[in-house]
Amino acid sequence: MDKREVINLAAKFIPRRTLFFDVIVTEHCNLNCKGCGSFMPLADEEYIDLEDLEKDYKRLVYCIIDI
């Protein structure tokens, strides 16, 4: 087992003190960069539903509260 494998194995058993996640609030962008590779300027202007986001957060808290 090499050093990297040991670190990865240890990471599975060390409790995390922080939680990171991304929230995609829109897939649209009103900039128009020449090098854009995501095609976001072409996407319809839609935004995340705040009620859905609130439900997601509540569910997330419910799921992690016992961790």
Q: Please give the residue ranges that form the binding site for ligand SF4 (CB under 6 A).
A: 29, 31-33, 36, 38, 40-41
Judged by beta carbon, residue 18 or residue 30, the one nearer ligand SF4 is 30
Judged by beta carbon, residue 24 or residue 65, the one nearer ligand SF4 is 24
Cα–Cα distance, 42 to 24 (Å, whole number) = 16
Judged by beta carbon, residue 8 or residue 38, the one nearer ligand SF4 is 38
| Residue 21 per-residue DSSP state | -
Q: Is 56 helix (H, G, I), strand (E, B) or coil?
A: helix
Cα–Cα distance, 42 to 36 (Å, whole number) = 11
